[in-house]
C-alpha cells in the first residue's frame, strides 16, 4: 500500500507545485483522492483548506502570484487576470485594486465578493500565459482600463508607464484603440497626448 499512496502523494505534489501549492477538490478526485480522503488530509493537517473546494500544501512560501493562481483555480481555469489587476501585474501606474479582476467567458456565472468578473471574449494575442494563471497583455490591459471606470488620470499614468517600460508602442496603441469604442479611444488619445508632452 505504501507504493500506491506514495505515488498518489507525489502526483498531487507535482500538480500543486505547478499551481503555487494550490489544488482543487476536483483535481484531487481526478488523481484518486476520495472526498473522505480529502477530509482526512485536511483534519490531519496534511492539506490546508483555503476555500470551499480549494486546498494548499502546508508551509508553502508566499509569492506575489499566489492570488492570481488562487482565483484562476476558483474560475476553473476560465478566468484571465485583467483590468486593474492586470495593470498591477504589469506595473502600469498607481492602481491598487481591492478586488481581483478577471475577464471570463460570457456564460461564466460564479460570483465571489473578492472578485470582479468582466464577461468578454479575449483573443489569443491578448493573453499572456504564466502556466497556472493567465493575464491580459499590457496593450489589452490599456484598452480595458480606457473602456472601464478607471479615471482619466489613471489611464494616462498606465499608458505612460507602458510606453516608458517598452511594453507597447504608440503605433500599436493607436492601431487598436478604435476597437475599444469611441469613449475609450478618446481617453487613450488624451493619454497619448499627455505622454508626448516633455
Of 62 and 198, the structure prediction assigns the larger pLDDT to 62
- For the chain, percent of residues with pLDDT exceeding 70: 98
Write out pLDDT tens, residues 61-94: 988 899 999 999 999 999 999 999 999 999 998 8
Cβ proximity of 48 and 57 under 8 Å? yes
> Cβ contacts of residue 115 below 8 Å, gap of 6+?
71, 74, 79, 99, 100, 101, 102
- The cell numbers describing 31, all together, are 488523481
Residues 150-175 have a mean pLDDT of: 95
Cβ proximity of 23 and 15 under 8 Å? yes
Cβ proximity of 70 and 112 under 8 Å? no
Write out pLDDT tens, residues 94-143: 888 899 999 999 999 999 999 999 999 999 999 999 999 999 999 999 99
Cβ proximity of 141 and 128 under 8 Å? no
Phi, psi of 22 (to 5 degrees): -90, 155
What pLDDT does 140 receive?
97
**The model's pTM:** 0.90
Amino acid at each position: 500500500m505504501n507504493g500506491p499512496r506514495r505515488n498518489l502523494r507525489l502526483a498531487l505534489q507535482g500538480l500543486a507545485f505547478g499551481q503555487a501549492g494550490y489544488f482543487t477538490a476536483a483535481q484531487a478526485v481526478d488523481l484518486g483522492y476520495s472526498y473522505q480522503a480529502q477530509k482526512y488530509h485536511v483534519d490531519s493537517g496534511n492539506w490546508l483548506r483555503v476555500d470551499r473546494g480549494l486546498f494548499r500544501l502546508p508551509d508553502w512560501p508566499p509569492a506575489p502570484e499566489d492570488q492570481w493562481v488562487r482565483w484562476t483555480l476558483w474560475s476553473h481555469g476560465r478566468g484571465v487576470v485583467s483590468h486593474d489587476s492586470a495593470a498591477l501585474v504589469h506595473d502600469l501606474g498607481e492602481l491598487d485594486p481591492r478586488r481581483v479582476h478577471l475577464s471570463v467567458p460570457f456564460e461564466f456565472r460564479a460570483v465571489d465578493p473578492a472578485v470582479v468578473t468582466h464577461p468578454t471574449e479575449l483573443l489569443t494575442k491578448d493573453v499572456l500565459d504564466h502556466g497556472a494563471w493567465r493575464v491580459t497583455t499590457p496593450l489589452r490591459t490599456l484598452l480595458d482600463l480606457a473602456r472601464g471606470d478607471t479615471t482619466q488620470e489613471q489611464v494616462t499614468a498606465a499608458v505612460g508607464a507602458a510606453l516608458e517600460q517598452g511594453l507597447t508602442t504608440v503605433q500599436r496603441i493607436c492601431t487598436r484603440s478604435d476597437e475599444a469604442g469611441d469613449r475609450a479611444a478618446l481617453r487613450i488619445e488624451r493619454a497619448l497626448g499627455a505622454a508626448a508632452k516633455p
